[in-house]
């Protein structure tokens, strides 16, 4: 009897998350979620450009692993974004994490504060999509990954403008998914809960706020930046080849139990 030889056949699932031969640009890679995303993509074989307004921070990220390089990019400069798209050539994966927040109630907001939050959180994302996705469409493939927030679906007083930008980004990316899906380009967002990053340092440094936010999730704690990296690798890879127009919640169960009350014994 002749035995079948399976040694020559590689299991197709073995490389499902591999990104060998692909080029990724991570905007906001100088710290926090962006840095961890860049490192994770590189660990799975991608050539990664760590882009950040702070070049020194981007260079520090690039020095933490193989396959990484640094690029200075201010996403509030539309011309600089287009120049980056021209400079970096064929890009298979685009990730953008840069965001800001002004924690004030709506009636206390100034026009300048409104413009500052909208410009970075929404307008810059719009500019990045418009600069990088045409090349992806021409090549017939690509994955664009943005970051929204639990605030895209669940708000609290003092988070209104930030929440509006995150909900707007979700709809922007869904529209891009619809418009460029026929050309093979996928658009998705990751929605974190509370994460220990520079953006949240104001409330993390207050023990009362820190504990209150931790208790809101099913896991009873804040996320670490590296816990978002798996979602980015997934959405960038062939494991998510049929995933587009989606919001992937990585919130420790926050939205599943939002508003819960644990009565005393």
The reply to whether 256 falls in a domain is no
Report the domain count for the chain. Answer: 1
Percent of the chain with pLDDT over 70: 96
pLDDT tier, 91 (very low <50, low <70, confident <90, very high otherwise): very high
The reply to whether 3 falls in a domain is no
CATH number, residue 212: 3.40.50.720
The reply to whether 237 falls in a domain is yes
- Which candidate, 25, 41, 16, 22, places its Cα nearest to that of 243? 16
pLDDT tier, 8 (very low <50, low <70, confident <90, very high otherwise): low
pLDDT tier, 259 (very low <50, low <70, confident <90, very high otherwise): confident
pTM over 0.85: yes
The reply to whether 102 falls in a domain is yes
Q: Please tell me what DSSP assigns to residue 47.
A: E
Q: What pLDDT, in 10s, does the model give residues 93-137?
A: 999 999 999 999 999 999 999 999 999 999 999 999 999 999 999
Q: What pLDDT, in 10s, does the model give residues 177-235?
A: 999 999 999 999 999 999 998 777 777 888 888 998 898 899 999 999 999 999 999 99
Q: Say if CB 70 and CB 53 are below 8 A apart.
A: no
Domain ranges, residue 141 = 19-250
Query: How does the average pLDDT of the chain come out, rounded?
Result: 93
The reply to whether 179 falls in a domain is yes
Q: What pLDDT, in 10s, does the model give residues 39-56?
A: 999 999 999 999 999 999
The answer on pLDDT for 1 being more than 60 is no
Whole-angstrom distance, CA of residue 67 vs CA of residue 44 = 10
pLDDT tier, 4 (very low <50, low <70, confident <90, very high otherwise): very low
- Which candidate, 138, 101, 140, places its Cα nearest to that of 118? 101
Q: Say if CB 122 and CB 168 are below 8 A apart.
A: yes
Residues 6+ apart with CB under 8 A from 41: 19, 24, 26, 48, 93, 95, 232, 233, 236
Q: Structure tokens of 225? A: 């930046």
Tokens 């685009």: give the residue. 94
The reply to whether 228 falls in a domain is yes
Residues serving a catalytic function are 162
The reply to whether 4 falls in a domain is no
Percent of the chain with pLDDT over 90: 83
Predicted pLDDT at 7: 52
pLDDT tier, 265 (very low <50, low <70, confident <90, very high otherwise): low
The answer on pLDDT for 2 being more than 60 is no
Lowest-confidence region among 64-68, 77-81, 100-104, 197-201:
197-201
Predicted pLDDT at 3: 47
The reply to whether 14 falls in a domain is no
């Amino acid at each position: 009897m002749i035995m079948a030889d399976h040694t020559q056949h590689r299991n197709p699932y073995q490389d499902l998350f591999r990104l060998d031969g692909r080029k990724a640009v991570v905007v906001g890679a100088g710290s926090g979620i962006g840095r961890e995303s860049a490192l994770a993509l590189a660990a799975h074989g991608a050539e990664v450009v760590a882009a950040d307004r702070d070049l020194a921070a981007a260079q520090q990220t690039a020095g933490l692993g193989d396959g990484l390089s640094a690029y200075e990019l201010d996403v509030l400069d539309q011309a600089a974004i287009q120049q980056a798209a021209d400079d970096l050539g064929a890009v298979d994966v685009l990730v953008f994490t840069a965001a800001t927040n002004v924690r004030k109630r709506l009636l206390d907001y100034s026009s300048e504060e409104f413009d500052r939050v909208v410009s970075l959180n929404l307008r810059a994302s719009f500019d990045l999509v418009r600069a990088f996705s045409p090349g992806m469409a021409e090549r017939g493939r690509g994955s664009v990954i943005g970051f929204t927030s639990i605030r895209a679906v669940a708000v609290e007083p003092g988070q209104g403008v930030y929440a509006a930008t995150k909900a707007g980004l979700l709809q922007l990316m869904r529209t891009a998914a619809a418009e460029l899906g026929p050309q093979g380009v996928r658009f998705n967002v990751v929605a974190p809960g509370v994460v220990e990053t520079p953006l949240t340092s104001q409330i993390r440094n207050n023990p009362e706020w820190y504990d209150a936010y931790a208790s809101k999730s099913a896991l009873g704690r804040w996320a670490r930046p590296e816990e978002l990296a798996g979602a980015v690798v997934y959405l960038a890879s062939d494991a998510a080849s049929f995933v587009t127009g989606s919001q992937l919640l990585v919130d420790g169960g926050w939205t599943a139990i939002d508003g819960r009350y644990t009565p005393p014994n």
